Amino acid sequence: MRNASKHEPISKGTTVMESVPFVYCLKSSFRRQLCDFCLKANSNLRKCCGCMVVSYCGRVCQREGWKDHKIECKNLLKVKPNTPTDSVRLMARLILKLQRGGDMEAEHITAIWSRKFKDLLSHRKEIKEDVKRMEYFLTICGVLNEYLSDEILPNAVELLGIYGRMCINSFNILNGEMQAIGTGIYLAPSVIDHSCSPNAVATFDGFKLRIRVTQDLPKLDWSFIYISYIDLMNSKNHRKKELKERYYFDCNCPRCGSDEIDCYHYAARCPSCRNPITVRRGDKFPPCSCGSRLDSSFSKQFWSAADFSEQQLLLMQDTNYLDVCKLCLTKQEDLFHDLCLIRSKVLDAAFDSAVQLQLWESAIQYGLPLIHAYKLWYGNEHPLTAILLLKIFKIMLLVSPNDDSAALKYYQEAAKIIELTHGKGSMFYQQDVKSLIRDVK
């Protein structure tokens, strides 16, 4: 961790904080792929011989994870064949750790500034007024009473405080491809505020969290370092609503105070010059910079396609929705600019679906225009932009294995971003990024 008392400039790509979790929990969907302790992939995982629920790389990881799993193990065995949800399991781990002295554990931010679990915001008042969260809290309490029946549970006020801190301060633990593989509570990183225009990013090596700045800073000042708490490929109103509902604050970041990016929420493609023409819902389309004007027929078709696409995006599930995406894109053809938020989301869904179905030509068709959309909505140096570029690189090699010249530029751009966001020494860069170029050579 950098010393905050020093006032030297901080170069982008600098790791300003490293942290291990106070508690964490592997997502149940990855239980047969990743080690419950180190969170690394292993094709030869060994199940815990007690509960037969969690799995480890081997004896080393099992021994290291035992302090968190010892009591959990007998409780998992007790409630079989039922298995508690990830949230219940994380909450139980928090309760058990606090009972064995974890309330005194602190993580330093500077030499003289540290945080304990009690220092994390609980938003108890807001959560008590949040009907949905209180319903879920009561459900969790009911399951905990059965799951931890042999333990002495905190009283209702303390439980609500623990629950609130878990809701507000938890991080999704991400793998190299930015998939959420677990959830963790990190004490020191909880000081970092949100911005929809972040100047830092949180990445992970296993369960270890790293905060790396993505912009040059005049000095290390934690009140001016920001990460994003949410998905940035959303409209201003959607982002503000999500932040208010999940974290109970109103976002006043530079992006939320400007329409420079969010004006593309609804962006038409000029029939004459193909440039974007942006408009607010309910307003008339302004003339294009080239002088062209959109007639009422164009406007009617545009809003009809927008309404249809937004409805379909809400209905899409984790199944094959490529046909739905194709229908949306057909309706949007010659009407929507590729930077339009709605089109960007449909292209993103179509790309993912084509990859799942191994339709490589289609994946390239949807992925290439998606690059510019990612750079607008996420930023030129965001990990998700790099992951998209890497996927396109690998797909292009599958489609044209004897011609890698076109694909290499996407790899080079992706590698440069990952050097910034993850670092050359990161496990992801060393094992997953460098190996790709070795395979090509």
**CB atoms < 10 A from the CB of 30, how many?**
18
Q: Which of 192, 264, 232, 233 has the alpha carbon at shortest distance from 4?
A: 192
C-alpha to C-alpha distance for 27 and 68, rounded to whole angstroms:
16
C-alpha to C-alpha distance for 272 and 378, rounded to whole angstroms:
29
What pLDDT sits at residue 91? 96
pLDDT tens digit sequence for 204-219: 999 999 999 999 999 9
| Cα 262 versus chain centre, distance | 20
For residues 149 and 291, state if they share a domain: no
C-alpha to C-alpha distance for 59 and 76, rounded to whole angstroms:
20
C-alpha to C-alpha distance for 376 and 310, rounded to whole angstroms:
20
For residues 350 and 435, state if they share a domain: yes
| Domain final residue pick, 150, 185, 220 | 185
What pLDDT sits at residue 2? 46
Residue 121 is part of which domain span? 21-185
Q: Is the dihedral of CA 263, 267, 272, 274 positive or negative?
A: positive
For residues 180 and 283, state if they share a domain: no
For residues 155 and 295, state if they share a domain: no
Are the beta carbons of 56 and 65 closer than 8 angstroms? Answer: yes
- 241 part of a folded domain: no
Binned at pLDDT 50, 70 and 90, residue 104 comes out as: very high
- 296 part of a folded domain: yes
What pLDDT sits at residue 139? 95
Q: Which two tokens stand for residue 42?
A: 């292993």
- 165 part of a folded domain: yes
For residues 178 and 60, state if they share a domain: yes
pLDDT tens digit sequence for 368-394: 999 999 999 999 999 999 999 999 999
On the CB side of 106, CA atoms within 13 Å amount to: 10
Burial of 394 (0-12, 13-18, 19+ CB in 10 A): middle
Determine how β-strand 226-227 pairs with β-strand 193-194.
parallel
Residue 25 has pLDDT above 90, yes or no: yes
Give φ, ψ of 190 to 5 degrees: -65, -10
C-alpha to C-alpha distance for 63 and 145, rounded to whole angstroms:
28
C-alpha to C-alpha distance for 183 and 428, rounded to whole angstroms:
19
Convert 402-421 to b/e letters by CB count within 10 Å (16 or more is b): eeeeebeebbebbbebbbbb
Q: Which of 384, 377, 381, 386 has the alpha carbon at shortest distance from 260?
A: 377
- 245 part of a folded domain: no
For residues 172 and 318, state if they share a domain: no
CATH number, domain with residue 316: 1.25.40.10
Are the beta carbons of 1 and 225 closer than 8 angstroms? Answer: no
pLDDT tens digit sequence for 319-369: 568 999 999 999 999 999 999 999 999 999 999 999 999 999 999 999 999
- 228 part of a folded domain: no
What pLDDT sits at residue 317? 63
Q: Taking residues 24-47, report their average pLDDT.
A: 94
On the CB side of 430, CA atoms within 13 Å amount to: 6
Higher confidence at residue 143 or residue 6?
143
For residues 268 and 415, state if they share a domain: yes
What pLDDT sits at residue 5? 44
212 to 17, 226, 285: CA distances (angstroms): 7, 10, 41
For residues 145 and 280, state if they share a domain: no
What pLDDT sits at residue 438? 60
C-alpha to C-alpha distance for 237 and 392, rounded to whole angstroms:
31
- 63 part of a folded domain: yes
- pLDDT over 90, % of the chain: 87
| Domain final residue pick, 185, 206, 236 | 185
DSSP state of 400: -
What pLDDT sits at residue 4? 43
Residues 6 or more apart whose CB falls under 8 angstroms from that of 96 comprise 68, 71, 72, 148, 151
For residues 389 and 289, state if they share a domain: yes
Q: How many domains does the chain have?
A: 2
pLDDT tens digit sequence for 139-179: 999 999 999 987 889 999 999 999 999 999 999 999 988 99
Convert 207-225 to b/e letters by CB count within 10 Å (16 or more is b): bbbbbbbbbebeebebeeb
Binned at pLDDT 50, 70 and 90, residue 7 comes out as: confident
pLDDT tens digit sequence for 112-138: 999 999 999 999 999 999 999 999 999
For residues 276 and 178, state if they share a domain: no
Q: Which of 41, 58, 37 has the alpha carbon at shortest distance from 49?
A: 58
For residues 173 and 268, state if they share a domain: no
- 254 part of a folded domain: no
For residues 153 and 275, state if they share a domain: no
Mean of all residue pLDDT scores within the chain: 93
Q: Which of 143, 42, 5, 12 has the alpha carbon at shortest distance from 416?
A: 12
Residue 247 has pLDDT above 70, yes or no: yes
Give φ, ψ of 277 to 5 degrees: -120, 110
Q: Which of 277, 271, 280, 350 has the alpha carbon at shortest distance from 309?
A: 350
- 5 part of a folded domain: no
Residue 6 has pLDDT above 60, yes or no: no
381 to 67, 217, 392, 419: CA distances (angstroms): 39, 16, 17, 10
What pLDDT sits at residue 434? 86
359 to 39, 47, 89, 250, 297: CA distances (angstroms): 30, 36, 38, 42, 35
| Domain final residue pick, 138, 160, 185 | 185
**pTM: predicted TM-score of the whole model, two decimal places:** 0.92
CATH number, domain with residue 63: 1.10.220.160
- pLDDT over 70, % of the chain: 97
